[in-house]
Amino acid sequence: MNFSGKVALVTGAGQGIGEEIAKEFARKGARVALMARRREGIERVAEEIRREGGRALALCGDVSIECSMKNVVEQVVAELGEPDILVNNAGIQRTPAKLFEMEEKLWDEVLAVNLKGAFFACKSIAPYMMKRRHGRVILISSLAARRMSFFGSVDYTVSKYGISGLNHHFAWEMAEYGVTVNAICPGSVKTPMLVNSTTKEYLETIVKSTIPLGRMILPEDIAATTLFLASEEAAMITGQEIEVTGGALLGLGEYFRPMINQRIREMREKAARREQH
């Protein structure tokens, strides 16, 4: 695949999945805009892209604020050109809690970034793709959109189910303009966010118990799927949710319930200890 002459905007590009996607687009010739709330991550990734001979632009912004997202898109247009590709990867999860224990503030924060942020990204990019009658939108969702989250809680699960609805509806709206919209639903991806949110033992148990292919998904696996969906080879694929899970939906055991409940208790206790210090 060759993306020479294309402009790609990747949100949440400072680490993990977003970082690898941005680097792969650059390696294939695209001019890449990297967006995140914190500058240090995207500046580091942009510099690594430039050292490899690519062109990258690091832009700070908050996907959950419409004017911030719109401003980032306008900067991309001014400095790199009108975007051909949007990868909405920005997402967060917080200390898990049961629904009846969850505070409204936590619910609002996760939904604002994970779902409203995707809405603002799509809304901000749409006019440029509609005008050119071409474009690719890839929404990074989660296996949580297919069942539930084993790592977050109800706020995260609901936000990813919401991405499914956004994906289907936006794909229908954009079809008449020749723009495709698809979502990727990764399973357990070995990213800093995941590794830092749990224990090594929990990850090993998840892999052994739920992934028939026998290993965690890597950011490179998600990047490869993203580039395919952004390519001309995927011109007739739209409104789809592509599962990159290592076969994790092929079967589950009921014994997961006590293990998940134990992790929620442990993570809440850990968060409480941090607050005390």
The residues facing 8 across adjacent strands are 32, 85
pLDDT tens per residue across span 101-115: 999 999 999 999 999
- Single pTM value for the model: 0.88
With CA atoms as reference, report the closest residue to 238 among 174, 186, 185.
Answer: 174
| Residue 203 banded pLDDT, cuts 50, 70, 90 | confident
Catalytic-role residue among 156, 161, 177, 202: 156
Structure tokens at 123: 């809304």
At 55, phi and psi to the nearest 5? -115, 125
What pLDDT is attached to residue 254?
Answer: 45
Structure tokens at 40: 């240090």
Annotation marks residue 255 as catalytic: no
**Mean predicted confidence (pLDDT) in 174-186:** 98
Q: DSSP alpha helices (H): ranges in the chain?
A: 16-27, 39-51, 66-79, 104-111, 117-132, 154-175, 192-196, 200-210, 219-230, 256-276
* Bigger pLDDT: 190 vs 29: 29
How distant is the alpha carbon of residue 112 from its chain centre?
Answer: 14
pLDDT tens per residue across span 45-76: 999 999 999 999 999 999 999 999 999 999 99
Structure tokens at 110: 């996760």
DSSP 133: T
Residue 92 has pLDDT above 60, yes or no: yes
Q: How many CA atoms lie within 13 A of 122 on its CB side?
A: 24
| Residue 250 banded pLDDT, cuts 50, 70, 90 | confident
- Distance in angstroms (rounded) separating the CA atoms of residues 277 and 273: 7
Residue 230 has pLDDT above 70, yes or no: yes
Residue 34 has pLDDT above 90, yes or no: yes
**Mean predicted confidence (pLDDT) in 191-214:** 76
**Mean predicted confidence (pLDDT) in 181-195:** 86
Structural domains of the chain in order of their starting residue, each with its CATH number: 7-276 (3.40.50.720)
- Distance in angstroms (rounded) separating the CA atoms of residues 43 and 273: 32
- Distance in angstroms (rounded) separating the CA atoms of residues 259 and 243: 24
